[in-house]
Structure 1
Amino acid sequence: MLLSEQAGQPAATKIQRPATLRESVIEAIQELIVSGQLKPGQHLVESELADLLGVSRQPVREALQQLSGEGWVDLHPGQGAFVHVPTVEEADQLLAVRALLETESARLAALHADEDGVKRLRALCARGIAAVQADDVDAAVATNSELHALVTALSGNKVLAELTSQVARRVRWYHTPVARRRGMASWEEHTSLIDAIEAGDERRAAKVMREHTEHTRESYMAQREKEPVQPAPKPVRRRRRTTG
């Protein structure tokens, strides 16, 4: 039977292809940036990244090109690649969009979350509190991302979950520098959020999430004002010497 004759029948399951080397390198470099191991404005040397990741320079070069198009890396002719320095405006815009998406996620989660979902949220919250008490910033940031992702999943809205996932990694990038400053207060807010979700109080859940995301935005802006990051210098063209 021809494919054209199969209209109306259930679509065949697509074959999952393994990640290419370039995709794996992109993922690894993004994670280095998000975790703060590569700082905003830092010069990215292809040979050093290749040695660090155990690959040749070619996939690193290809990865940097793609990351440049996605706003993670800045390429300066004559100087090389640098970790992108988010402007205050772009960070503010992204965190504002995040607040809108996650506020709605929390509201819907209060309507649709079941007992098991609430139990999983409580477990993540306990893990996050333990990470803060141990001063393990990386674990706290990772657990924070898991908790927010679960709230979105519990909303039951797949489109909302997809949109939220598109900004989640960049949100984690902005959250990492302020995670220690937010400290236990962030997890107290998480606890209030889970209480509202468990009670099925959609208005309360939305309010807590809106205030929670706003506190993170304010902390990030204060951090940027306290420790401004300078972009990489623009390349300077050298004049050729002329002979008389």
Structure 2
Amino acid sequence: MPIPSASGVHSRSLLRDDVYLSIREAIVDGTLAPGERLRDGELESWLGVSRTPIREALLRLARAGLVIAQPGRATTVAPLDAPATLHAQQVAAAMHELAARLAVPLVSDTEIDAMEEANDRFAAALDADDADAALAADDAFHAVFVARSGNTMLAEVLEQTTPLIRRVERVRFASLAARESVHQHRAIIERTRAADADGAAALARENWLTLSRTLAD
């Protein structure tokens, strides 16, 4: 299994969430490819932690659909699954629609400016063919509504669904097809400045539903 070359990158006091996030990000960014076998010893060497938090992280990743864990057999990175990704996309679209509807009446001018800045970074990352930076900027754009909504359950649901979507979106954000999202973001910002919660919510939902075109290609 090709794991990152750095070893012991975390201290022994690493929180379980950090182990989970490290492995999850390696799966999402393709460092750990679909079908790769995940060996406890190699993960211990890479992360610098004991086997217990690693096994707990793998169980969480299995529940999220990112790894396949078979008791007594190998644990492997799950293949890309179009139906599962579409299901996650549908849930995420509904959550972001709700976040926009709740957030728009409360969002500040400073937060809207932050959304514009994130979208500018998103566009620049696409121009530079930097999928990682594009995903980070897209996350920052949508995080404004999620945080301002005041509904903590939204973040919890999105934590479960977004990684499945991001694995596929890396392909989309490496192509010109992602340019559509730049314009969709601008439209969302326009409706937000106009205090149009329903309009912004509808556009946010549509923005997340465009992933189905990538899966269909």
TM-score higher than 0.5 here?
yes
Which of 182, 196, 208 is the aligned partner of 1:201? 196
Match of 2:126 in 1: 132
Match of 1:112 in 2: 106
| Aligned-partner Cα distance in 2 for 1:106–1:58 | 39
Q: Could you tell me which amino acid in structure 2 is paired with residue 198 of structure 1?
A: R
Which of 158, 173, 177 is the aligned partner of 1:164? 158
Match of 2:76 in 1: 82
Structure 1 position 197, deviation (Å): 0.7
* Higher mean C-alpha displacement, 189-198 vs 38-47: 38-47
| Aligned-partner Cα distance in 2 for 1:44–1:19 | 22
Q: Could you tell me which amino acid in structure 1 is paired with residue 104 of structure 2?
A: A
Match of 1:73 in 2: 67
Structure 1 position 79, deviation (Å): 4.9
* Higher mean C-alpha displacement, 101-110 vs 137-146: 101-110
Contact 1:110/1:199 (<8 A) preserved: no
Bigger Cα Rg? 1
Distance 1:133 1:41, change over 3 A: same
1:180 aligns with 2:209: no
Structure 1 position 116, deviation (Å): 1.2
Match of 2:47 in 1: 53
Q: Which runs of 5+ in 1 are unaligned?
A: 1-17, 224-244
| Aligned-partner Cα distance in 1 for 2:140–2:165 | 12
How many residue pairs align between the two structures?
205
Moved runs in structure 1, 4+ residues, more than 6 A? none
Instruction: State percent identity of aligned pairs.
Output: 33
Match of 1:192 in 2: 187
SS at match of 1:180: coil
Structure 1 position 61, deviation (Å): 4.3
Question: What value does the CA root-mean-square deviation take over the aligned residues?
Answer: 2.6
Contact 1:125/1:190 (<8 A) preserved: yes
* Higher mean C-alpha displacement, 207-216 vs 177-186: 177-186
Which of 134, 137, 140 is the aligned partner of 1:143? 137
Match of 2:206 in 1: 211
Match of 2:19 in 1: 25
Contact 1:128/1:143 (<8 A) preserved: yes
* Higher mean C-alpha displacement, 183-192 vs 152-161: 152-161
Q: What are the Cα deviations for residues 148-184 of structure 1, in whole angstroms up to 9, with x where unaligned?
A: 1112223344443443344333333332232223332
Distance 1:62 1:105, change over 3 A: closer
Q: What are the Cα deviations for residues 102-133 of structure 1, in whole angstroms up to 9, with x where unaligned?
A: 11222333322221111111111111111111
| Aligned-partner Cα distance in 2 for 1:91–1:22 | 25
Q: Could you tell me which amino acid in structure 1 is paired with residue 108 of structure 2?
A: D
Distance 1:19 1:110, change over 3 A: farther
Q: Which runs of 5+ in 2 are unaligned?
A: 1-11
SS at match of 1:74: strand
| Aligned-partner Cα distance in 2 for 1:58–1:165 | 22
Distance 1:216 1:66, change over 3 A: closer
| Aligned-partner Cα distance in 2 for 1:162–1:22 | 16
Q: Could you tell me which amino acid in structure 2 is paired with residue 27 of structure 1?
A: L
| Aligned-partner Cα distance in 1 for 2:24–2:153 | 24
| Aligned-partner Cα distance in 2 for 1:155–1:209 | 14
Contact 1:106/1:209 (<8 A) preserved: yes
Distance 1:63 1:210, change over 3 A: closer
Q: What are the Cα deviations for residues 189-219 of structure 1, in whole angstroms up to 9, with x where unaligned?
A: 1111111111112232122222211112322
SS at match of 1:130: helix
